[in-house]
A and B are shown apart, each in its own frame.
Chain A
Amino acid sequence: MGNNKNPYRSIESEVLDVITESPTITTVKLKPKELLSFETGQFIEMSVPGVGEAPFTPSSRPSVKDMMDVTVMKVGKVTEKVHTLKKGDIVGLRGPYGKGYPLDSFKGKEILVLGGGVGLAPLRSLMYALFDRISDFKKIYFRYGARTPKDIIYKNEVKEWSQRGDLDFRITVDAGDETWKGHVGLVTTILDGMAINVSTGIAVVCGPPIMMKFSTFKLLDLGFKIENIYLSMEKNMSCGFGKCGHCRLGTYYTCKDGPVFTYDKIKNFPNIWD
């Protein structure tokens, strides 16, 4: 019955480090004072004491069990406070919630990891999880788009990945600048010409709603199967376990049935991209 468990309680967690990723995006490195590990794709509720709570998907390596990174874009009152956190500060963590990426079912397959903007945060954790058992998968394709070169997050990791021999890697920006020598165009423009077998390939997509919408349509055009397209749905998950009612998506709650859904599960619900 879980008598002694209080699902509303946060675990005290220490800020170990704060890393500025871009003018609006910061990563905080956290150490929960009790065990709180996660599977890639699951999310947590992070609270800033006296301010409030918001859902985030950890961006760090899930096999590291005693720490986690949370990458936060400054968009609201909680995230603004997160951006003022310093080493040694205390935050609260609850979770993990929802279902992660089913890596076991990806075994032996080709996987396309497709990110947009800050949507790379959950995908970074996925990339680490994939790298941890890379021999399980046939081939990994990485495609990422940001608005401008300045908006590319995890620049070090991205650079490192670009040099890996076992990764098919391409990135783009919507608008370049004088330093940018790479591809310019929406992320959907770097999806053509992949050697991936679309009839069995897995596509994992995370990014802003508009990017996910057009990426999904593009992937369908390319021939990906609807049940092989994994989408991270952004809703305002609050409780995290299907009780508070905020994140309903058709007959699902994003918090407990998602936040990752295959497109076939949700495509018949109205207005899923809004």
Chain B
Amino acid sequence: MNYISSKNFIQVLNVLKKEYQLYLPNKKNNQRFYKKYSEFSDDITIGEVRAFEPLKAFFFGARAKVSEDFKSEIPISKEKPFAIIGVKACDLKGFKVLDFVFKGEDVIDPFYAKARENNLIISADCTCAIETCFCLALDVKPYPQENFDINLSQVKGGFIVETGSQKGREIVEKNSSLFEDAKTEFINERDEQRVRVIKEVEKNIQEKEIPRQERFKGIIEKNYESNIWKEEAETCVECGACNSICPTCHCFLLFDQKDNQHLARFRLWDSCMIKDFAKVAGGVNPRNKLWMRLRNRFEKKFDFFPKLANIYACTGCGRCVSACPAKIDIRKVLKRLSGNGK
């Protein structure tokens, strides 16, 4: 296992800058936002918890041109690929859902596939938990175990470095003079930190009585006609923030630019909470009530994906809890659905 000092880490960033557009979490008002890297500053926060924005934005952009005129070529961006640094384990779980959607089955989304191939992920252990964290309920540990190129565990004066892909190994090899063998005391420090953060997340789960995913089986079918949906949807303002902010939500809209001289088709993030999401051209809307759409959102995450891909499409990141202006809390809904709440 390797170690890199903070000073040398900045050197690695400067090397990577030549090939990638680097994005690092910057702390502002108690939140962490990905910001394009130019030089190192004190606001850069590799550890702590997940950033405000979901990682999917770098792989499946909120607005992407996917076709132009009738040209058979794929519109190619001439920009450098992204290197996203400080990614947390909850966001990495999102790849399991997004890969299933965009890379699985017979049709591959060429834009997503290319981003997955070219982008670089340097993830990091969480060094604390915040009130909305509940990853452990979804069987996600607060430190990355897969789907990264390089993982960093913040310890005294630097980071423990683990590689998770050939691309990651090559970066370490090419810059080997900047890395050193990790001392046992640092490895111990990392392990203690991991245990401490797990305890913090456990505390959230205990206090809020959040059910673990073992109890999710059948909760949608069992509660399909329940009043829970109507009650929980009562305050919803249909803003779609829960969808936009979710690392696993993948639904999109194809939008043709309103210009018949310059044809362009865009793929835009869509939201299943918005009224017209499932409406057909003739006007029939299978989910014309808000509570039906809330139920649909949970059905997709906790019934559809487990049945098709053997995965719950929630990572326990808690972003939707923070983002919802109506204070609809996925943890509370899950608690009610699994029969452990009123």
A positions within 8 Å CB-CB of B: 1-12, 33, 47, 49-54, 73, 75-76, 78-79, 92, 208-209, 234-236, 238-239, 241-248, 251, 256, 270-271, 274
Contact = CB atoms under 8 A, between A and B. Distances in A.
B260 A243 contact: no
Nearest to A3: B110
Interface of B: 66-67, 70-74, 101-102, 105-110, 113, 224, 250-261, 263, 265, 267, 270, 272, 277-284, 286, 296, 300, 303-304, 307-308
Most chain A C-beta atoms within 10 Å of own C-beta, residue among B109, B256, B258: B256
B254 A6 contact: no
Contact of B253 (A47, A50, A238, A251): A238
Given A6-B110, A49-B263, A54 B253 contact: no
Contacts of A256: 105-106
B251 A245 contact: yes
Contact of A51 (B102, B107, B258, B283): B258
A244 B60 CA distance: 12
Contact of B254 (A8, A12, A76, A270): A8
A92 B102 CA distance: 24
A80 to B, nearest CB: 10
Given A243-B107, A245-B270, A9 B280 contact: no
What are the 7 tightest A-B residue pairs by CB atom distance, in nearest-first order? A50-B260, A245-B251, A241-B107, A8-B66, A12-B70, A76-B281, A49-B260
B219 to A, nearest CB: 15
A75 B284 CA distance: 11
Contacts of A239: 252, 254
B256 A75 contact: no
Contacts of A243: 101-102, 107, 109, 250, 252
Given A5-B110, A241-B107, A274 B284 contact: yes
A50 B265 CA distance: 9
A244 B266 CA distance: 12
Given A6-B67, A239-B254, A244 B308 contact: no
A79 B304 CA distance: 32
Contacts of A244: 251-254, 270
A122 to B, nearest CB: 15
A2 B74 CA distance: 12
Nearest to B292: A271
Given A1-B108, A251-B304, A236 B281 contact: yes
Contacts of A9: 66-67, 70-72, 265
A33 B72 CA distance: 12
B68 to A, nearest CB: 8
A236 B279 contact: yes
21 contacts: A4-B72, A4-B74, A6-B73, A6-B74, A7-B108, A9-B265, A33-B70, A50-B263, A51-B260, A53-B265, A73-B282, A75-B283, A76-B281, A78-B281, A208-B282, A236-B278, A239-B252, A245-B252, A246-B278, A247-B278, A270-B224
Contact of B250 (A53, A79, A238, A245): A245
B110 A234 contact: no
Given A6-B66, A12-B70, A50-B256, A241 B106 contact: yes
